[in-house]
């Protein structure tokens, strides 16, 4: 169904702008706005959305965290939801978020629920955020749900930032090594190849391989780029298949060095989502369902389904978690204490904080081990290339003696 960009005014004469999606005609749009006490001034049919449409682009994580904190603070101070969204819309520097909030506000003014209004933008607001909104709206704990969401998003953003920072050095080393090797193959190796050809020096097989690679890179670089691009496209298509993704999810957990770190990150994401939802009154089975979606891992999906079945048959959460080795002992112990004291969500959140500290230590230790290894690998690659380049020269000098 088409979308319309409109200008409307309220009874006080104040003008509002927005985008209404899923409406059949201008007359239908006018009727919907009249229900909200607004008079339609102008309506223009929006163009077909494309990738450049700001409502199709994502919002940066730090902007989303700031929005959630602002929303929680203003709503907790007594402002209505419409007033909160209008204030944040006027203050935000993000044009994408501004247009999204304008559309959400318009949806609310025409009678939509808060969950429905935000659920339209699932590429921006995660299932966890939408679930928290729904729980807070139906349970009368919207301020608490928003505050919990803000803390959750901030913790998740911090974890993502730490993981990215950990891979900055390896990526930088890989880029530098690629540039150096490419420059040697493009400029250095051809010079020595011409020299050896004029001197009629017999070439050992490492030098022959190096010259062959240089010739291919210089003469067929367009085909090589296209081939690499095609392989990347094909790999992405294959990785989208559920069966392939399931196998990769299991392989990630079994990697020699990164597997343990990935398991902790997966547990942290799953349990923090579960605890956040349970803390605002979402039933345990529904909280696990949302946490399963947020975790986005086939192995964790099977564990979540087993947890749901175990809890549904009357088992305690701690006992259900203990049946799976992916959950650390501290998680099980804190869950047990939380169930005994009636503070399950709070204790699980504290357990996740402990897990996050362990993740920080593992990332720091990984960096300490990676730096010398990567430096050694880069030096070894460049050294082998130089050795292959100069081997015929050494032979030639030996014959002269």
Question: pLDDT tens digits for 230-286?
Answer: 999 998 888 888 788 888 888 888 888 788 889 999 999 999 999 988 988 889 999
The per-residue pLDDT for 171 is 85
Domain spans, the chain: 3-48, 55-165, 218-401
Cβ pair 49, 55 in contact under 8 A: yes
Q: What are phi and psi of 240, to 5 degrees?
A: -75, -15
Please tell me what DSSP assigns to residue 55: G
Say if pTM beats, i.e. exceeds, 0.85. no
Query: What is the arithmetic mean of pLDDT over 11-28?
Result: 68
Cβ pair 117, 108 in contact under 8 A: yes
Query: What is the arithmetic mean of pLDDT over 51-67?
Result: 71
The per-residue pLDDT for 54 is 46
Q: For residues 384 and 207, what is the distance between their CA atoms, to the nearest angstrom? A: 10
Strand 15-21 to 39-45 pairing:
unpaired
- Residue pLDDT, tens place only, 79-133: 999 999 989 988 888 888 888 898 888 888 877 888 888 888 878 888 888 888 8
- Residue pLDDT, tens place only, 282-318: 899 999 998 988 888 888 999 999 999 999 999 999 9
Q: For residues 333 and 318, what is the distance between their CA atoms, to the nearest angstrom? A: 7
Question: Above 90 in pLDDT, residue 347?
Answer: yes
- Residue-averaged pLDDT of the chain: 84
Question: Above 60 in pLDDT, residue 50?
Answer: no
Domains 55-165 and 218-401 share a fold: yes
In the chain, pLDDT over 90 holds for what percent of residues? 22
Q: How far is CA 38 from CA 9, 89, 94, in A?
A: 6, 19, 26
Token output for 102 = 């304008």
Cβ pair 2, 26 in contact under 8 A: no
Contacts of 78 (CB under 8 A, 6+ apart): none
Q: For residues 202 and 191, what is the distance between their CA atoms, to the nearest angstrom? A: 16
Contacts of 319 (CB under 8 A, 6+ apart): 310
The per-residue pLDDT for 49 is 45
Q: What is the CATH number of domain 55-165?
A: 1.20.81.30
**Record: fold of 218-401:** Receptor-associated Protein (1.20.81)
Question: Above 90 in pLDDT, residue 351?
Answer: yes
Question: Above 70 in pLDDT, residue 365?
Answer: yes
Most confident among 132-146, 148-162, 261-275 (mean pLDDT)? 261-275
Question: Above 80 in pLDDT, residue 30?
Answer: no
Helix (H) or strand (E) holding 41: strand 39-45
The per-residue pLDDT for 192 is 85
Token output for 71 = 């929303």
């Amino acid at each position: 169904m088409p979308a319309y960009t409109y200008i409307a005014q309220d009874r006080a004469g104040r003008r509002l702008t927005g985008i209404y999606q899923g409406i059949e005609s201008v007359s239908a749009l006018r009727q919907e706005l009249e229900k909200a006490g607004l008079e339609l001034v102008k309506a223009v049919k929006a163009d077909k959305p494309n990738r450049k449409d700001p409502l199709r682009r994502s919002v940066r994580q730090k902007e989303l965290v700031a929005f959630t904190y602002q929303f929680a603070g203003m709503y907790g101070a007594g402002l209505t939801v419409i007033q909160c969204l209008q204030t944040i819309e006027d203050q935000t520097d993000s044009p994408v978020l501004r247009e999204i909030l304008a559309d959400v506000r318009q949806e609310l003014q025409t009678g939509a629920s808060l969950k429905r209004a935000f659920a339209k933008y699932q590429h921006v607001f995660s299932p966890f955020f939408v679930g928290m909104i729904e729980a807070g709206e139906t349970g009368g704990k919207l301020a608490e749900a928003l505050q919990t969401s803000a803390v959750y998003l901030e913790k998740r953003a911090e974890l993502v930032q730490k993981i990215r920072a950990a891979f900055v050095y390896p990526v930088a080393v890989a880029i530098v090594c690629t540039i150096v090797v490419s420059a040697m193959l493009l400029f250095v190796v051809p010079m020595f190849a011409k020299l050896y050809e004029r001197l009629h020096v017999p070439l050992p097989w490492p030098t022959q391989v190096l010259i062959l690679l240089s010739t291919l890179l210089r003469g067929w670089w367009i085909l090589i780029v296209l081939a690499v691009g095609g392989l990347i496209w094909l790999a992405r298509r294959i990785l989208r298949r559920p069966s392939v993704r399931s196998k990769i999810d299991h392989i990630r957990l079994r990697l020699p060095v990164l597997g343990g770190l990935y398991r902790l990150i997966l547990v942290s994401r799953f349990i923090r989502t579960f605890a956040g939802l349970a803390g605002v009154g979402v039933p345990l089975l529904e909280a696990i369902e949302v946490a399963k979606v947020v975790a986005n891992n086939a192995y964790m999906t099977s564990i979540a389904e087993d947890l749901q079945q175990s809890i549904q048959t009357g088992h305690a959460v701690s006992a259900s978690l203990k049946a799976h080795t992916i959950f650390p002992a501290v998680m099980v112990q804190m869950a047990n204490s939380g169930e005994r004291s009636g503070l399950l969500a709070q204790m699980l959140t504290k357990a996740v904080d402990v897990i996050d500290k362990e993740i920080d230590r593992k990332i720091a230790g990984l960096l300490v081990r990676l730096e010398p290894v990567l430096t050694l690998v880069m030096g070894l690659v460049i050294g082998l290339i130089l050795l292959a380049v100069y081997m015929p020269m050494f032979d030639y000098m030996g014959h002269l003696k």
